[in-house]
Structure 1
Amino acid sequence: MTAPKVVLVGAGSVVFTQGLLADLFSFPELRAARIALHDIDPERLATAEAATRYIADRRGARPEVSAHTDRRMALADADFVLNLVQIGMNEATRTDFDVPARYGLSQTIGDTLGIGGIFRALRTFPFLKALGEDILAVCPDAWLLNYTNPMAMNVQYLTEATGLDRVVGLCHSVHWTLHDLCRLVGAPFDEVTFTAAGVNHQAWVLRFEHRGENLYRRLDALIDDDPQLRRRARVDMYRRLGYFPTETSEHSSEYVPWYLGRREEIERLRLPVGAYLGISDENLTAYADTRDALAAGSALTVEGTMEYAPQIIHSVVTGRPRAVYGNVPNRGLIENLPDRGTVEVPCLVDGSGIRPTRAGRLPAQLAALNRAYLSVNDLVVRAALEDDPRHIRHAAMVDPATAAALPVERIWDLCDEMVQAHAALLQPSLRAPLSA
């Protein structure tokens, strides 16, 4: 394959787009790639195009760049499609936090599980179905590399609702967790052998070694000696479960029933309730700064981000083998998790494409937590596929953090209010309030 066509859908997420393109153009073989940018916001699209040309120039690349508000025009003949969208943007995110907070429900990030994750998925599904239909129509052989959260729900919905079989969800949590763990225990990242598997934002470091040494022993000693380390939710989980989770404490605390429903645990583990609202505001500021800098002809910082998508594209184009972590339909990859669920496992990438690897069986306690997570996902996906609004309530009822914080009647009341708040973004069959 020469001069691959790479389409960024939701390219108006300019800061993330910049990092991906800086990575992409760092590979000499990809500097002449065809880059198609799509967004429904003309201003953000224009900013993304200007940023792309700036980064290409700084990297010594000469890509063919085009910008489109028409998605099918952007997708035509694509080899790779990167999905970066956030449906509803900051206004919807604020609703995801403000409404549950009135019910006494605490969230930190709200993009993967819990009430925030459930409704982020439900307002994203109609877009994903339309995107899948467009890909089948104009670029059926393209790889769809999804970055949009909630990752596991979105990948399951995409594969079941559209029939696409070249869908892989990408997340940097495994890479950066291992990077930070190596720094913490004083081991060179490039020399460490590790394996992780589970579900997105709740995978587990199953192997962590340096030249035959089990690095968990070093980590245990550090935790024993540092009371501040013990004031982190995922360290607390590691001490009790025996394996380190692959996402931050802010994320990890939302997928279990033990922490966010108790004020003393929020204080003990220093959990930043509502943290994602601040992150969203920072993203708006970063976008405005980039837009204004480009308009003024000022310099931009061009930094790589070590994301998987550019590495995958390089491997498929050049045949250079790599291993990355991907989110894919289970289908027996993790034996003690449901086949319909989306799991995060090592994937081999080369000129033949992306091939997930079997992880076998997880330790029983890890699989138990992952099954609870996947049960929520499956009910949310079923709500959309079966046009059954009751499954939205069922998903919230079995969600660990929601069920730990609210009685069932309040869960239904909360779902009714959330459905009404997001009604314009939901498929019509899911918009009505329900009585038990």
Structure 2
Amino acid sequence: MKLVIIGGGSSYTPEIIEGVIDRHHQFPVTELVLVDIEDGKEKLNIIGALAQRMIEKSGVSIQLSWTLNRQEALMNADFVTTQIRVGGLAARAKDERIPLKHGLIGQETNGAGGIFKAFRTIPVLMEICNDISEICPNAWLINFTNPAGIVTEALLKYSAHKKVIGVCNIPFNMKHSVAEIMGCNPEEVEIEFIGINHFVFGSKVLIRGEDKTDQVLAKLSNSELNYSPANIVSLGWKKEFIESIKLLPNPYHQYYFQTDEVLKKDIKAFHENGTRAEIVQQVERELFQKYQDPNLQVKPKELEKRGGAYYSHAACSLMASIYNNKGDIQTVNIQNHGAISDLPFDCVIEVNAVITKDGPKPVTIGRLPKQVKAVIQQMKGFEELVVEAAVTGDYSLAYASMIMNPLVRNESKAKAVLDELLEAHREYLPQFH
């Protein structure tokens, strides 16, 4: 069985290598290929050498190679994962810095920054999908390139390859956070998820099969609890908010329901420490220094400082379940197909699904809770505009996606930020130029 990791020079790759090694008894990968582009060659070589040491230490039988030739790497692939960042962390810094300059939240997957990450990423992943369709059409593409839901929707609607599943670490983090606040094992926690990527809610929490939703929500209304991944500083939730929506929010919801407080905090952090991208660049430098240590044979603990930690756990669990036709429940980004009756049939939602060899089968939700129905529908409408703008390069659609985003929603700022980001990312946006 062959696994290809596109974006193999990413600092996250040691985590996916660890995941493959740990699951080798049930997911017996025999060939593993890391792929990157010329600009990532040095990092790819460092990651490749570390991955080789990790595999040798584990004693599992995996043939490892790394290359800049994507088409060659894809030959006979059974699974392909994508973890790319078009323009690198320098592009992310612009996504954060430029909106902040205009008094808007600057974040890599939400607001104006998230829109432009999608604009840069979708055309590249469309090309990758076209390659997969021609070279290894039976392969499953597991995408954890952000914004995962928007990107997955673009690929399923417009690319030649349809065996595409999006994954995110937020549902994984939410389960672990619930386990922490309830003093139990994460494996004992089940959450019914409803919504879309980075805008998903938990409607029911079961612990060891028993409904503990009310107890979890009561504890969550205690603002002293830290309920966030590494890249989001939790502000806590007011008791009235939790009691009113009667749902488990995810950490990204603070951008939408605590916008003023988050913006104030982000501007202060920007003036004191720079953008989150600049902080991550320092974390990456330290990680790659560690990765070059010839005595390092395991994933270093410091990787968990990255906000996307545990993406790989979700991806590896998903691939193992597809391979084994396991029929377990996992949270994935897939087409709705009627699971949520209040959203379009062909849109991508983030939902619990039964994982089979033929792919995920979404668990039917029915109607959205009335407390969040309108806001989820608005977010989905915004996402559809982003996808169409990214595929067509239509300026009017790009502007519409900006103005309809709840974190922008100001006609003069929308145009100013749109034009500035279009120019700042010109080399990565051929469809608009």
Specify the TM-score bucket, using the shorter chain as the normaliser: 0.7 to 0.9
Cα displacement string for residues 219-257 of structure 1 (whole angstroms, at most 9, x for unaligned residues): 344356x453499556345344210123x2xx2223x2x
Tell whether the 8 Å contact from 2:223 to 2:236 is kept in structure 1 after alignment.
no
Superposition map of 1:36-435 within 5 A: 36-40=33-37, 41-107=40-106, 110-210=107-207, 213-223=210-220, 226-229=222-225, 232-233=234-235, 235-236=237-238, 237-246=241-250, 248=251, 251-254=252-255, 256=256, 258-260=257-259, 262=260, 266=264, 276-294=276-294, 297-301=295-299, 305=310, 307-403=313-409, 407-428=410-431, 430-431=432-433
Tell whether the 8 Å contact from 1:234 to 1:244 is kept in structure 2 after alignment.
no
Tell whether the 8 Å contact from 1:113 to 1:373 is kept in structure 2 after alignment.
no
Quote the residue 1:434 is aligned against.
Answer: none
Q: TM-score, normalised by structure 1?
A: 0.86
* Partner Cα distance (2:63, 2:183) in 1: 43
Tell whether the 8 Å contact from 2:144 to 2:167 is kept in structure 1 after alignment.
yes
* Partner Cα distance (1:301, 1:155) in 2: 28
Q: One-letter code of the match for 1:328? A: I
CA distance 1:275–1:363, shift in 2 (3 Å): farther
Q: Would you say how many aligned residue pairs link Structure 1 and Structure 2?
A: 411
Tell whether the 8 Å contact from 2:48 to 2:66 is kept in structure 1 after alignment.
yes
Same amino acid, percent of matched pairs: 24
CA distance 1:371–1:384, shift in 2 (3 Å): same
State the 1:34 CA deviation: 0.8
* Partner Cα distance (1:84, 1:308) in 2: 13
Q: TM-score, normalised by structure 2?
A: 0.87
- SS of the residue 2:407 aligns to: helix
State the 1:352 CA deviation: 3.7
* Partner Cα distance (2:220, 2:327) in 1: 36
Cα displacement string for residues 52-101 of structure 1 (whole angstroms, at most 9, x for unaligned residues): 21111222212011211011011111110000001011110111112112
* Partner Cα distance (1:328, 1:358) in 2: 13
- SS of the residue 1:244 aligns to: coil
Cα displacement string for residues 335-362 of structure 1 (whole angstroms, at most 9, x for unaligned residues): 1122342101112223343333322222
Which stretch of structure 1 is more off in the superposition, 4-13 or 24-33?
24-33
Cα displacement string for residues 191-226 of structure 1 (whole angstroms, at most 9, x for unaligned residues): 3343112111111111113356542332344356x4
Tell whether the 8 Å contact from 2:388 to 2:397 is kept in structure 1 after alignment.
yes
Q: 1:18 aligns with which of 14, 17, 33?
A: 14
* Partner Cα distance (2:218, 2:267) in 1: 22
Tell whether the 8 Å contact from 2:202 to 2:249 is kept in structure 1 after alignment.
yes
* Partner Cα distance (2:286, 2:367) in 1: 42
Tell whether the 8 Å contact from 1:117 to 1:150 is kept in structure 2 after alignment.
yes
RMSD: 2.7
State the 1:328 CA deviation: 1.0
* Partner Cα distance (1:24, 1:317) in 2: 13
Q: One-letter code of the match for 2:177? A: D
CA distance 1:263–1:309, shift in 2 (3 Å): closer
State the 1:323 CA deviation: 1.8
* Partner Cα distance (1:264, 1:387) in 2: 31
Stretches of structure 2 that go unaligned for 5 or more consecutive residues are 227-232, 302-308
Stretches of structure 1 that go unaligned for 5 or more consecutive residues are 432-436
Cα displacement string for residues 78-125 of structure 1 (whole angstroms, at most 9, x for unaligned residues): 110000001011110111112112212133xx2323100000000112
State the 1:165 CA deviation: 1.5
Tell whether the 8 Å contact from 2:111 to 2:405 is kept in structure 1 after alignment.
yes
